[in-house]
Each structure stands twice: as C-alpha cells, then as structure tokens.
C-alpha cells in the first residue's frame, strides 16, 4: 500500500483517537443498540470498530459516472436475488419453470427481473411491429389491432395483481419436498399492469348474444390456448403491454398479455395474438388433461380457475434461517383470488396458538399482501405457520383438510398451511405436521 493510500485512513483514525472519540462512538452506538435490544455483535467497548474507523475505497475514490449503466442493475452484493429452477423437475428448460426469490424480497411488488417464468415452448422473441391482436368469432365486427392501435385506444388503466401458477406447491401435495420457500411458493409474482380492459375491446367488436366464451391464444411455439367465460372477460380481464411501468419483459409475454385477475396463471396467455368468441369452452389440452384435479373416486375437478386464499412465511424459511437471538422480524405474503386479505394469523408452535400478524402496506383485492410479526427469539425450536383469511370469510386450510376433500392425486391448487421447523441453531427446514 502506498503512503498516499494510507494517509486518509491514518488521519481519520488519528483524529478520532486524538479526540478520544473512537471508544465514545462505540460506547454510544452500543448504548443505542442496547436500548433497541439488539446485540451489538461487533462493538466491543473501548475497541475501535474497523468498519467505522477504516476508510473504505468507496469512501475514498470517485465512483463510476452516470453513463456507466444506461439500464441499471441491482447492487453486485445482491447476487442471491435471482430466479432459480429445479433441474430435475423438467426434461429441458424450454418447457419448464423457475421460481421467484420471494425470500429475498419485501413489500408487495415483484421486480420485473425476478418474476418467475413458466414457458411451454421457450420465450417467444416477438417483434412488436410484426405483432397483431385479432378479435373474431361471434362478434359483429372482427378486429385486428397493431400495438400502436392498442396504445392509443381510449380507456387505459393501471392495476396491481398477483399471478400464481396453479401448480405452485404442487410438489408438496403428498408431503414436504423442497427445502426453500422460493421452490415451495415461488411460482408467484405481483406487478402493476397497464392496459385496456378486455371489455372495452370486446364492446368495440360487439359480442353477439350467443357469445358466452372467450378463447385466448399465444404467439409462442406452444400456442398456449385457454377458454375464459364471458362473465370474467367482461368483469376485470386486461389486455396489457406494461408491467411495473415499463414494457412487458419477453419472459412475461412481450409485447402483449392477457391478465385474468385472481385466476390460475395458466390462463394469463402471454404473447397474446388471438381472441375468439364462441358459445362453449374449447376443451383445450390445458383445460382437460392439464389443470384439472383427479379426485379419489376417479372423477376430475375441472374449470377450477380461482386461486383460493393462501399465505406463507418467507422469513424465516430454509433459505433465510434465523441468525440472531433476541428481536427478529418474521415476514410473509398472503393473497386471495376471491378478494382482499383481511387477516393473517401466525403460529410459532405448529398451530396450537395463533397471533394476528401486522399487515403493512395496502391489502388490495387479488394482490399480494405483506405481513409481519415482530418477535423475540430465545433459541427455542419453532414450528412456524401462517394462515390467511379473505374478504369472503374463507380461512386457509391445513394440508390435511385439503387432502380430506381432494384425495392424494392432486397437483394443482395446493393452498394448504406451510410449516417451517426452526431448529435451536436457527437452521430452518420444510416439514409437515398437519
């Protein structure tokens, strides 16, 4: 190290020492932290803390200028906040899934770069200038829109909604499987959408009286296709081109996607190119052999579109173990496809006792809702659970209660209560107790 390098470091230490401040600063810091009941791990009274007294490079040298990142990225120290997949779940990555790192996020909005992806034929790289949206079938006036047409159509709105894949937690149906909330609950994202109500476009085309069903089709190689009942289409579906204020990401269906609030993610067709009006459902693959639930008696539930109320504790969880005794903040997410979250209860003893969590931020219908419990951990083993309630009065069931009704064959629509076992050393594990 050159003398030049060392000078500022020396001089600040020198000043602190000369004024007798190093110990005082540590002591004052210790006192303030002690008041907050948080153990000042690094501060030993009388000893200077190098993270305070040493001058770091970032404090000494000029940083990169404004031209360095025309489109910014997260800090390089946040490299754990990434989507992850589970390689053995699928044969390849084109028809596959990855998971939102919900244990690394806070609040209710999912940043665009980490929204989980589910593709059946890879990501379509659609040129917006070559993209068209067609509306045809049982309509008075078939229509074709360019992206520009849609963006100047009157009546644009903005709405935040969660999207949950019906298979979220599917691997957990028969018992605890995957050790991480990212993998057990991460087939979900929650973003602000900008677009036109589907109703507005359908009114423009004029739906004939016998038009009872809407087919939505994607422009990807999988040509994902689903039937939506006209009541839902006219209620709150959106034709969207933006998420969280910017154009949709290619992974999320750029340049156009249908948003079907509160309903299973599979219906939210990406790269939306065609809307057909018919008088009955089309019985596509995704609504017959897939996205139906085989019951114990051999019959299958179908048209199970709505995502029931659900919640999960994201911290602590296996990827985010408890690290400190004393004050801790337990945090989690709750959502319902039937309305708003009205209450979330949390148990730390496996469901024997419950306390009501603190909801912070808006509790909007069909949108992720954030909850917290501020608690003291004395190092005892915990069985952490959460239980959501929504505005219809529905209470999130245990997995046992779900299996009693649905049998053992299901994959989709697992909204059972999750249990995390926190061991005495803080390590946290996916377990099942009810």
Minimum CB distance to Co ion smaller for 271 or for 371: 271
Window 135-164: contact mask with ligand MTE (x via CB under 6 A): ----------------------------x-
Binding partner of 207, given Co ion, ligand MTE, none, CB within 5-8 angstroms per partner class: none
420 binds ligand MTE (CB under 6 A): no
Structure tokens at 239: 């034709």
Structure tokens at 35: 């008041």
Q: Which of residues 163-192 bind ligand MTE (CB under 6 A)?
A: 163, 165, 189
Minimum CB distance to ligand MTE smaller for 117 or for 390: 117
Minimum CB distance to Co ion smaller for 266 or for 414: 266
Whether residue 390 contacts residue 339, with contact meaning beta carbons closer than 8 Å, is answered with yes
| Burial label, 183 (beta-carbon count in 10 A; 0-12, 13-18, 19+) | buried
Selected binder of ligand MTE within 48, 117, 312, 369 (CB under 6 A):
117
Whether residue 380 contacts residue 424, with contact meaning beta carbons closer than 8 Å, is answered with yes
Size of the site for Co ion (CB under 5 A): 4
Minimum CB distance to Co ion smaller for 165 or for 388: 165
Cα dihedral 169→323→341→261 (10° resolution): -50
270 binds ligand MTE (CB under 6 A): yes
Window 91-130: contact mask with Co ion (x via CB under 5 A): ---------------------------x------------
* Dihedral over Cα of 335, 338, 344, 346: its sign: negative
Query: Cβ contacts of residue 116 below 8 Å, gap of 6+?
Result: 83, 97, 98, 99, 100, 165, 186, 187, 188, 189
Q: What are phi and psi of 203, to 5 degrees?
A: -65, -35
130-154 core/surface letters (b: 16 or more CB in 10 A; e: else): ebebbbebbbeeebebebeebbeee
**Cα–Cα distance, 75 to 407 (Å, whole number):** 46
Selected binder of ligand MTE within 48, 103, 109, 118 (CB under 6 A):
118
Minimum CB distance to ligand MTE smaller for 193 or for 371: 193
Range in contact with ligand MTE (rule: CB under 6 A) among 67-75, 116-124, 292-300, 377-385 = 116-124
Task: State the residue for tokens 């000369």.
Answer: 18
> How near is the Cβ of 390 to ligand MTE at its closest, in Å?
21
265 binds Co ion (CB under 5 A): yes
Binding partner of 183, given ligand MTE, Co ion, none, CB within 5-8 angstroms per partner class: none
263 binds ligand MTE (CB under 6 A): no
Per-residue DSSP letter, 121:
S
Q: What are phi and psi of 423, to 5 degrees?
A: -80, 170
274 binds ligand MTE (CB under 6 A): no
Minimum CB distance to ligand MTE smaller for 29 or for 229: 229
> How near is the Cβ of 328 to Co ion at its closest, in Å?
34
- Return the SS3 of 133: strand
Could you list the residues that contact Co ion (CB under 5 A)? 118, 165, 265-266
Could you list the residues that contact ligand MTE (CB under 6 A)? 115-120, 163, 165, 189, 218, 220, 222, 224, 251-252, 265-266, 268-271
């Amino acid at each position: 190290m050159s003398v030049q390098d060392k000078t500022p470091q020396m001089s600040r230490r020198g000043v602190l020492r000369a004024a007798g401040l190093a110990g005082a600063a540590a002591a004052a810091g210790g006192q303030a932290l002690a008041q907050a009941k948080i153990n000042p791990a690094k501060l030993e009274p009388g000893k200077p803390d190098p993270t305070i007294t040493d001058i770091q490079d970032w404090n000494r040298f000029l940083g990169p200028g404004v031209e360095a990142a025309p489109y910014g990225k997260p800090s390089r120290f946040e490299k754990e906040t990434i989507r992850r997949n589970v390689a053995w779940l699928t044969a390849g990555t084109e028809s596959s899934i990855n998971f939102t790192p919900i244990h690394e996020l806070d609040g209710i909005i999912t940043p665009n770069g980490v929204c989980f992806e589910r593709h059946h034929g890879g990501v379509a790289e659609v040129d917006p200038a070559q993209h068209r949206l067609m509306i045809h079938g049982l309509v008075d006036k078939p229509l074709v829109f360019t992206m520009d047409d849609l963006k100047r159509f009157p009546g644009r709105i903005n709405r935040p909604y969660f999207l949950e894949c019906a298979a979220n937690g599917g691997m957990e149906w028969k018992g605890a499987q995957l050790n991480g909330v990212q993998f057990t609950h991460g087939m979900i994202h929650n973003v602000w959408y900008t677009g036109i109500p589907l109703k507005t476009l359908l009114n423009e085309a004029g739906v004939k009286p016998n038009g009872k069903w809407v087919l939505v089709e994607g422009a990807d190689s999988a040509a994902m296709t689903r039937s939506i009942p006209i009541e839902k289409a006219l209620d709150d579906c959106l034709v969207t081109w933006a998420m969280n204020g910017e154009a949709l990401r290619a992974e999320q269906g750029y340049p156009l996607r249908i948003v079907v609030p509160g309903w299973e993610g599979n219906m939210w067709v990406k790269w939306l190119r065609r809307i057909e009006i018919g008088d009955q459902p089309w019985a596509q693959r995704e609504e017959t052999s897939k996205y139906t639930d085989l019951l114990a008696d051999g019959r299958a539930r179908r048209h199970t579109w709505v995502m029931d109320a659900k919640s999960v504790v994201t911290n602590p969880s296996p990827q985010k173990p408890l690290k400190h005794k004393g004050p801790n903040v337990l945090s989690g997410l709750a959502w319902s496809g039937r309305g708003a979250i009205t209450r979330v209860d949390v148990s730390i003893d496996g469901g024997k006792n419950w306390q009501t969590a603190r909801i912070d931020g808006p509790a909007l219908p069909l949108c992720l809702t954030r909850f917290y419990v501020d608690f003291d951990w004395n190092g005892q083993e915990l069985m952490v659970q959460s239980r959501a309630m929504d505005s219809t009065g529905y209470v999130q069931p245990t997995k046992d209660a779900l299996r009693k009704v649905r049998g053992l064959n299901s994959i989709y629509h697992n909204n059972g209560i999750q249990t995390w076992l926190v061991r005495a050393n803080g390590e946290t594990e996916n377990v099942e107790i009810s």
